[in-house]
Amino acid sequence: MRAHRSQLYSALVAVWLTLSIAGVVMAAVSWVRLSESVNAAVAVSNFNDTLDRVFSLVLEAESGQRGYTITGIESFLDPYELALQRLPGELEALTEFSLIDRERQRKVLDLRVLVELRLNQMLEVVQARRTQGFPAAALQIVTGNGEETMDQIRLQIGGMRRDRVGILTRHGATTRQHLNRANITSLVAGVLGVGAGFFAFFLARLSLDHERMERQLAESKLQAEKDSAQKSAFLANMSHEIRTPMNAILGFTDLLSAEVREPRQRRYLTSIRTASESLLQIINDVLDMSKIEAGVVDLHPEPTDPREICEFLHSVFSEQAARRSVQLTCGTAEDLPRALLLDRTRIRQVLVNLVGNAVKFTERGFIRVHIMSEAQAAVGSRITLVIEVEDTGIGIPKDRLDDVFKPFAQTDPRRPQEQEGTGLGLAIVRRLIELMGGTVAVASIEGHGTTFRVRIPDVAVSARLPATQLPASNAAVDFNEFRPATLVVADDNAVNRELIESIFSPTHHALHFGVNGEEALALARALKPDAVLLDIRMPLLDGRETLAAIRQSPGLELVPVVAVTASNLADDEREFREEFDGYVRKPFTPRALFEELAQFLPRAEVPTAAAGSEPLPPTTQPPGGAPTLQRAELAVELHRLESSDWPTVRDGMSMTEVHDFAARLRGLGEDAECAPLVDYAGVLESHAMAYDISALEPELARFPQLISQLEANTV
């Protein structure tokens, strides 16, 4: 019995050893076959890549030859010369790939003959163009056999590629057969106790899963890149289409602001500009959401006065709140520092979204904004900034509080207020506050109101004065400071052309307008202008194509060309600044256009008094009769204003009161023909329109000094 059992065990061991050895041998053979298949695939890939490069070089050479034939410009022959240099090496590589296959060697040789024949045909056309001109070269092309040769090259390359794919398919079939046998042998051996078959099967499955995962990842990456490209194209187009009319609205508002003097009309213009800037901010919000998601938003901290932010919020939302009979208050703690290092634009954006939501969802009661600080004991020069926006509106359901900061989320889409928005505002708020290192929380009782609390730690206290717009950013500019210049302006939008024409109408400059790139190019060639202003998106020739044509025109190589575009993408701006001499983004102000042109147009010479002549008097009286108000009467009226109206305006810092005060001063200055007083009133109006409180305070404070200077006739 034991003998029989031993014989059985011996037989089982023999079978096990045989199957194990067979499994190892089959696996080794399979791996060898797989390696051969991989090498064959690599060889096919290299061979096909080389074929593609050969064909591409021939096509590029043919394209260069055609370009030279048409234009006669030698630079078009660069691809042809490059093909002559590289084709011998690529054809030699094809020959090396075909050393072990006689049939393939023959096909490579045939291809080589065809390529050389085609290059010779191109050379004949080029020589005909050089020696006999375009008609002879064109005749050579028409009567030649170039197209037939190219068709033969295509057929030859296509056949060679199909042959290589067939070889690869046969390698793959043989490899799959060996792999199947190896798997079966390994599984049987594993059943008998080796376990190697199971491990091999596991490795095979793992390899298949890995391959499938890589394929899915590749497909997902391609889809994501496609979606990103479509999104970028949509955002760029939307930015351009909306910013173009916004440029006209803001531009004509600026022009009217310099002409309108009646206080009520100036308030109307201020409201138009504020509303336009709010609309522009909505556009920027949509673009900002995309930038935030892509992680490309940068913060730019600058000295910022929280009180100025309160004044800004009040000016933007007071009228809307008043229409709803809602009390809007915005205040700061008494111990809050005067200047904090914050990104003023972004913190304004956050509060505009929060207060805007409060106004939209509050129909009675109040909206209260309170800005305060928490001292940080560890660092005396830093605080924790806390901003609370409280309202008595309709509130948010408790189960929806966690969703309000999600993009496109709405607490109740059936509400009319919800249908007015996109649901992006609070999502932008949270992400911007997180970029600043802070947090935003919400507490709400449905039917009683909502409170948003923003907390930003580690905010630095600035020793410098709060940053505001440049004093002259909203002031009128004088383009006559430049020497008389000839300008070519190209824009397919009639309103934009009218805006630029209005800006330059009172100047001594000559403007010539075109509605597309071709007209701009023709004007530039005919006039040899001092500068060219080019819109980017235009029919026939766009801005970039027009720039290239201008640079190739004799005598226009150094003419300054300024891009004027509504694009808001950072990559576009960088490219424009690299390609063009200057860059102005719509909507632009006269100041922005002035500062850009100042880099190219020379200044007019300022006349100087001749030697020995008497200096000009401090003030001159323009023609047209005596002033209606004498200087003595003016001084009395100014002193009256100093004692009655000026203290209230100085201490209250109400923008409406400042506008009215400045309008009265301007009227007095014009009646007395006192230029310094008119200029002073203009400065006050400029700062008031910009809500530049930090600059407005010292200007108002020097009013008594101005009166003294006027009485002494020193200004």
Residue 243 scores a pLDDT above 80: no
* Res. 610: pLDDT tops 60: no
What pLDDT is recorded for position 611? 38
CA distance 493 to 238: 16
Cβ proximity of 304 and 339 under 8 Å: yes
Per residue in 29-57, pLDDT (tens digit) is 666 766 766 676 677 777 788 878 888 88
Between residues 689 and 584, which one has the greater pLDDT?
Answer: 584
Q: What band does 522 get if pLDDT is binned at 50, 70 and 90?
A: very high
Q: Which of 133-137, 360-364, 485-489, 500-504 has the lowest mean pLDDT?
A: 133-137
Name the strands in the sheet holding 382-391, side by side, starting at the edge strand that comes first in the sequence: 327-332, 366-375, 382-391, 449-460, 439-445
pTM for the model stands at 0.37
- Look at residue 479 and tell me whether its pLDDT is greater than 70: yes
State yes or no: pLDDT of 526 exceeds 80. Answer: yes
Phi/psi for 368 (5° steps) reads -125, 125
Q: According to the model, what pLDDT value does residue 612 have?
A: 40
582 DSSP 8-state letter: E
Q: How far apart are CA 357 and CA 334, in angstroms?
A: 27
Structure tokens at 555: 């005598």
pLDDT surpassing 90 at residue 372 = yes
Tell me the pLDDT tens digit for each residue of 377-413.
Answer: 555 578 899 999 999 998 888 877 777 887 655 555 5
Per DSSP, the residues of 270-303 read HHHHHHHHHHHHHHHHHHHHHHHHHT------EE
Q: What angle do CA 638, 642, 646 make, to 5 degrees?
A: 120
Q: What's the pLDDT at 706? A: 87
Task: In the chain, count H helices and then E strands.
Answer: 22, 12
End-to-end CA separation in angstroms for the chain: 133
- Asked if residues 117 and 145 have their Cβ atoms less than 8 Å apart, the reply is no
For tokens 């002549």, name the residue. Answer: 613
Q: Report the chain's mean pLDDT, rounded to a whole number.
A: 77
- Beta bridge partner(s), residue 460: 382
Would you call 327 helix, strand, or coil by DSSP? Answer: strand
At residue 60, the pLDDT reads: 85
Question: Which residues pair with residue 532 across a beta bridge?
Answer: 488, 561
Higher pLDDT, 259 or 15: 259
Mean pLDDT score, 231-251? 67
Tell me the per-residue pLDDT of 126-158, one tens digit each, with 9 for 90 and over: 888 888 888 877 777 776 677 788 888 888 888
Name the percent of the chain lying above pLDDT 90. 12
Contact 687, 471 (CB under 8 A): yes
In this predicted structure, which of 534-543, 602-611, 640-649 has the lowest mean pLDDT? 602-611
User: What angle in degrees, to the nearest 10, is found between the helix axes of 196-259 and 2-71?
Assistant: 30
Q: Are 617 and 277 in contact (CB under 8 A)?
A: no
Q: How confident is the model at residue 370 (pLDDT cuts 50, 70, 90)?
A: very high
Q: Are strands 439-445 and 449-460 parallel, antiparallel or unpaired?
A: antiparallel
| Vertex 501 angle, CA 496 and 507, to 5° | 150
Tokens read off for 75: 């630079």
What pLDDT is attached to residue 523?
Answer: 93
pLDDT in tens, 436-469: 999 999 998 888 899 999 999 989 887 555 654 3
Q: Highest mean pLDDT range out of 17-21, 346-350, 463-467?
A: 346-350
Q: How far apart are CA 195 and CA 199, in angstroms?
A: 6
